[in-house]
Amino acid sequence: MKEHLNLLKTDFSMKAHLSEKEPELNRYWSEKEIYKKIIEKNKTGKKMILHDGPPYANGHIHIGHALNKLLKDIINKYYWAMGYHFPYLPGWDCHGLPIELKIKNENDTEDIFEFRKRCREYAKKYIDIQRDEFKRLGILADWEDPYTTMDYNYEADILKAFNEIYKKGFITRGRKPIHWCPSCKTALAEAEVEYQDHTSPSIYVKFKVTGKENLFAVIWTTTPWTLPANLAVSIHPQYIYHIVRVKNEKWIIARDLVEKSMKEMEIDKYDILEEKKGKEFEGMTYEHPLMDKVCPIVFGEHVTLEQGTGCVHTAPGHGADDYQIGKLYGLEIFAPIDNKGCYTDEYPEFEGVNVFDANPLIVQKLNKKGILIKERKITHSYPHCWRCHNPLIFRATPQWFIDTRVPELKGKVIKFAKDTRWIPKWGEIRFSNMIENRIDWCISRQRSWGVPIPSRVCEDCGEEFIDENFNEDLIEKIRERSSDIWFKEKISELTDRIVKCPKCGSNHIVKGENILDVWFDSGVSWYAVVKEKMGEDIPVDLYLEGSDQYRGWFQSSMWPSAIINGSAPYKKVITHGFSLDENGRPMSKSVGNVISPNKVVKKYGAEILRLWVSSIDYTEDFRFSYNALNQMVDAYKNIRNKIRFILMNTQDFDPKNDNVHYSKLETIDKWALYQLSVLINKIDKAYKNYEFHQIHHLIIDFVTVILSSLYFDMIKSRLYTDPPGSRARRSAQTVLYSIVNYLTQRLSPILSFTMEEVFLYLTHERESIFFKVWEQVPEEWGKWDDEYDLLFNMREKAEKELENLRAEKKIGLSLDAQINIYYKNDSIKAIFDKFDLEEFFIVSKVTVIKDNTLGEVYKIEIKKATGEKCARCWKYKSDLDENGICSDCRTQIKNWKKED
């Protein structure tokens, strides 16, 4: 009997064996040069560019990298399938402090050239590691020729962009306070600062407010040596301040700090005279405590009520907050301290005195002037040099800047931000707020692993200068020999031009010692990569990075582009959130809650990770856990099994010869195509809007409800028992084939490995699913009469009744039952006639009965089927033969034709 049943087998396995199959497919894609061929194939298509933001070439990839690249991969594959010319050139960020520190820790060398060589090798090593890890995830890209910021050409183009900005007048010279070690005479990055306990003087000083009788602002500081550089007193505009009477003087102190500070100043007799809001001190000035000048009282949001007096001594040359305030109020960034930590002639009185030695002298002087209120000692955590362990100072030093405050430029950038399409929408607000509030961009670093700022310094007068012609000579040399030459060669080797100091005319000129901020490196990637390397236009279509890049790359790319191009570097910016652990906490090595993508790939397969990426709304922060991955494993199996069912049942189906025309399909088959067309249209819309989690849920729902629980279940009997080549069976197969065809297309950006596997299984004509331009669904599939949905409601009710019979042990399979349907209106009867109701309800018999007395629209009655169970179709019939086979089955067997 079984020979007259279509019980087909497939070697498309139920188990995926992802960890073995994925590497095979990766090799296949590499060998066949799939990426290259896609780009070649779409060469005449509409051009679009997603410009890859470069991850830092350090360490293995983490989940954030994986998510970022996988989202890009989904987008790439989507645009490829839409026929776009959409090249994807990945890149790496190579210069910068983390690598520098790593190399310094490993094996210090005095030879800067050797040192940079090691940095370069280190970056190279991790580029290779990360590239392999990305490739393993199934990401198709131009992996053979990625861009790196240490590439000779890239380095040259950094300076080319720099020179263009310089020529437009936006590179300026200024000062900015940084951590400085007076004993090593060197600048330190935050990462090189160690905090240790240190004992400092703690002093309260009163500054005489000008034009007011006996009114003083009381400040507190632990660095008396910075008082000569004092240029303002900061007050919080929102805080409440008290005017406190002490003897015959009036002191300004923040209300909440009066008690505490009075105690510390050991003053027990005082009265509160008045209460004022910080704002009310607007426009006031005071006499400088040490110099003969008048300084302003300014507003600062950095003022706190934790310690001190709420009136904060502000020296823009000696503090980070102070610097911000200084910039905001246009104060001088004044720091009369040299690189040994001694006063310069800008403070002649103490010229040559070391700042730490100067502390008591300053205190003495304040005391003499009668403005010192109290001196104590304080032991607090203070920055020290990680090398020599001596205390550091914060000192303004000459730096190079891009002047981002020029109103015209800032206005342009705000407009560009407005014209950019941000996904999610609030990106514009977040970005614009940052633009509004930002001060100059300091682009110089006192470091070695990076691209040099091509400045030169006059040994005679100290002038540091930049020259555009010299820059051009240098750029070409760097293009040939990398930026190493700056550190290796003398100036005369870098240019043929005669060099003289533009200020004093001296010819004793040496190279400057600054490198560029690495944010500048990556910030001009649109220039070095898109414009120079790829020869494409700016702005590019799309940037896609984590939301931390509003501050980072989106800005560092915007400013140079706004200056050089007079446009934004991008048209559209998509951001994704950050990975949190199961409990919503950030993943960190120290907490030990990190799940690395490499581990996931090993344990589950890249496909599971890809499916997970598609399941979340990436615009927000997302939780990542083994729990979530296990859920993806189930979802994956779910999809895979549905596809397997189709592959199994279309084994003997050749779409070229066996396809049944739409008009000849069974109604339920048309319904399946209708559902498919709805699905595909929704999916395509979601792709267009980059809402991949919609696709994920749409597909899971479709596959579980529409396919598995409804359609497959209904047509099983037809597939198994109808003669192989019969119209009815071919009708179902035609639909199944369409479903798998469309599903593999639409799923290929997400489940790339599996869909390629299915594609290769299904057809041997083409080399890859990724060569396929997606088909749109025929319009006629969208036709469906809503009235038919009545049947599906009936079916739901029937299922509940069947469940009751099952509970009463009267039936097992639904085929063990039969249904009577009572109706009143002929319009309903017309619906019934369109369907094979036995198939629809999966029962042995459906009897449709007209009943004019019926109150409701219809009524169903279910009972155990009468007759005997046919051994072949499992329906209950009254016409079984001696083999236990019903007459319908006998006919089917008679019409059975062997496939050739």
Q: How far is the CB of 799 from RNA (least distance, A)?
A: 4
Choosing from 693, 772, 859, 890, the residue that interacts with RNA (CB under 7 A) is 693
Q: How far is the CB of 544 from RNA (least distance, A)?
A: 15
Q: CB under 7 A: which stretch of 51-59, 401-409, 550-558, 679-687 binds RNA?
A: 550-558
Residue number, 374 or 644, with CB nearest to RNA:
644
Q: How far is the CB of 803 from RNA (least distance, A)?
A: 4
Q: How far is the CB of 434 from RNA (least distance, A)?
A: 7
Q: What is the rounded CA–CA span in Å between residue 361 and residue 355?
A: 10
Residue number, 111 or 701, with CB nearest to RNA:
701
Residue number, 323 or 347, with CB nearest to RNA:
323
Q: How far is the CB of 90 from RNA (least distance, A)?
A: 22
Residue number, 354 or 625, with CB nearest to RNA:
625
Q: CB under 7 A: which stretch of 92-100, 288-296, 544-552, 595-603 binds RNA?
A: 544-552
Of the chain, the end-to-end C-alpha distance in Å amounts to 19
Residue number, 338 or 440, with CB nearest to RNA:
440
Show Cβ contacts of residue 522 under 8 Å, excluding neighbours closer than 6 positions.
Answer: 53, 54, 93, 149, 553, 556, 557
Residue number, 485 or 700, with CB nearest to RNA:
700
Residue number, 210 or 883, with CB nearest to RNA:
883
The 441-442 sheet, strands edge to edge: 186-188, 171-181, 393-402, 441-442
DSSP letter for 390, please.
Answer: P
Structural element, H or E, at residue 876: strand 876-877
Q: How far is the CB of 320 from RNA (least distance, A)?
A: 6
- Compute how many other C-beta atoms are within 10 angstroms of the C-beta atom of residue 116: 24
Q: How far is the CB of 61 from RNA (least distance, A)?
A: 17
Count interface residues toward RNA (CB under 7 A).
79
Taking CB under 7 A as the rule, which mask of x and - marks residues 668-687 in contact with RNA?
--------------------
DSSP letter for 539, please.
Answer: S
Q: How far is the CB of 459 from RNA (least distance, A)?
A: 34
- Compute how many other C-beta atoms are within 10 angstroms of the C-beta atom of residue 21: 17
Residue number, 107 or 583, with CB nearest to RNA:
583
Q: CB under 7 A: which stretch of 144-152, 218-226, 566-574, 690-698 binds RNA?
A: 690-698
Q: How far is the CB of 721 from RNA (least distance, A)?
A: 6
Q: CB under 7 A: which stretch of 366-374, 453-461, 495-503, 691-699 binds RNA?
A: 691-699
Choosing from 19, 172, 694, 820, the residue that interacts with RNA (CB under 7 A) is 694
Q: In the window 53-112, what residues touch RNA (CB under 7 A)?
A: none
Q: In the window 378-437, what residues touch RNA (CB under 7 A)?
A: 426, 429-430, 433-434
Examine residue 778 and say whether the peptide bond preceding it is cis (omega within 30 degrees of 0).
no
Q: In the window 771-830, what residues touch RNA (CB under 7 A)?
A: 796, 799-800, 802-803, 806-807, 812-814
Instruction: At 107, list the tokens.
Output: 């094996």
Residue number, 34 or 885, with CB nearest to RNA:
885
Taking CB under 7 A as the rule, which mask of x and - marks residues 697-716 in contact with RNA?
x--xx--xx-xxxx-xx--x
Q: In the window 570-589, what residues touch RNA (CB under 7 A)?
A: 577-578, 580, 584-586
Residue number, 388 or 705, with CB nearest to RNA:
705
Q: What is the rounded CA–CA span in Å between residue 458 and residue 499?
A: 10
Q: What is the rounded CA–CA span in Å between residue 74 and residue 139?
A: 9
Q: What is the rounded CA–CA span in Å between residue 684 and residue 581?
A: 31
Amino acid found at 227: L
Say if residues 629 and 611 touch (Cβ distance below 8 Å): no
By CB under 7 A, residue 874 contacts RNA: yes
Q: What is the rounded CA–CA span in Å between residue 296 and residue 802?
A: 86
Q: CB under 7 A: which stretch of 52-60, 528-536, 670-678, 871-879 binds RNA?
A: 871-879
Residue number, 11 or 145, with CB nearest to RNA:
11
Residue number, 531 or 729, with CB nearest to RNA:
729
Instruction: At 154, list the tokens.
Output: 């890239």
Show Cβ contacts of residue 793 under 8 Å, excluding neighbours closer than 6 positions.
Answer: none
Q: Are strands 858-864 and 845-850 parallel, antiparallel or unpaired?
A: unpaired
Residue number, 194 or 548, with CB nearest to RNA:
548
Q: What is the rounded CA–CA span in Å between residue 50 and residue 40?
A: 17
Q: What is the rounded CA–CA span in Å between residue 483 and residue 840?
A: 74
Q: What is the rounded CA–CA span in Å between residue 9 and residue 65?
A: 41
Q: In the window 7-46, what residues touch RNA (CB under 7 A)?
A: 7, 14-15
Choosing from 106, 480, 620, 780, the residue that interacts with RNA (CB under 7 A) is 620
Q: How far is the CB of 242 from RNA (least distance, A)?
A: 20
Say if residues 8 and 648 touch (Cβ distance below 8 Å): yes
Residue number, 255 or 644, with CB nearest to RNA:
644
56: β partners: 93
- Compute how many other C-beta atoms are within 10 angstroms of the C-beta atom of residue 5: 17
Say if residues 818 and 845 touch (Cβ distance below 8 Å): yes
CB burial readout 322-353, b (16+ within 10 A) else e = bbbbbbebebebbbbbbeebbbeeebeebeeb
Q: How far is the CB of 782 from RNA (least distance, A)?
A: 19
Q: In the window 434-463, what residues touch RNA (CB under 7 A)?
A: 434
Instruction: At 822, list the tokens.
Output: 């009572």
Instruction: At 520, list the tokens.
Output: 């500048």
Instruction: At 744, list the tokens.
Output: 């593999």
Q: In the window 272-301, what residues touch RNA (CB under 7 A)?
A: 301
Q: How far is the CB of 10 from RNA (least distance, A)?
A: 8
SS3 call for 294: strand
Taking CB under 7 A as the rule, which mask of x and - marks residues 637-666 in contact with RNA?
xx--xx-xx--x------------------
Q: How far is the CB of 633 from RNA (least distance, A)?
A: 9
Q: What is the rounded CA–CA span in Å between residue 749 and residue 757?
A: 13
Q: How far is the CB of 571 from RNA (least distance, A)?
A: 20
By CB under 7 A, residue 591 contacts RNA: no
Residue number, 195 or 426, with CB nearest to RNA:
426
Residue number, 230 or 575, with CB nearest to RNA:
575
Q: What is the rounded CA–CA span in Å between residue 771 and residue 44?
A: 14
Q: CB under 7 A: which stretch of 35-43, 123-131, 279-287, 625-633 binds RNA?
A: 625-633
DSSP letter for 710, please.
Answer: I
Alpha-helical runs (H) found in 541-654: 553-564, 597-603, 606-615, 626-649
Say if residues 517 and 443 touch (Cβ distance below 8 Å): yes
Show Cβ contacts of residue 681 under 8 Å, excluding neighbours closer than 6 positions.
Answer: 777, 782
Q: In the window 306-325, what residues touch RNA (CB under 7 A)?
A: 320-321, 324
Choosing from 105, 381, 627, 657, the residue that interacts with RNA (CB under 7 A) is 627
Q: In the window 344-363, what residues touch RNA (CB under 7 A)?
A: none
Instruction: At 292, list the tokens.
Output: 């003969």
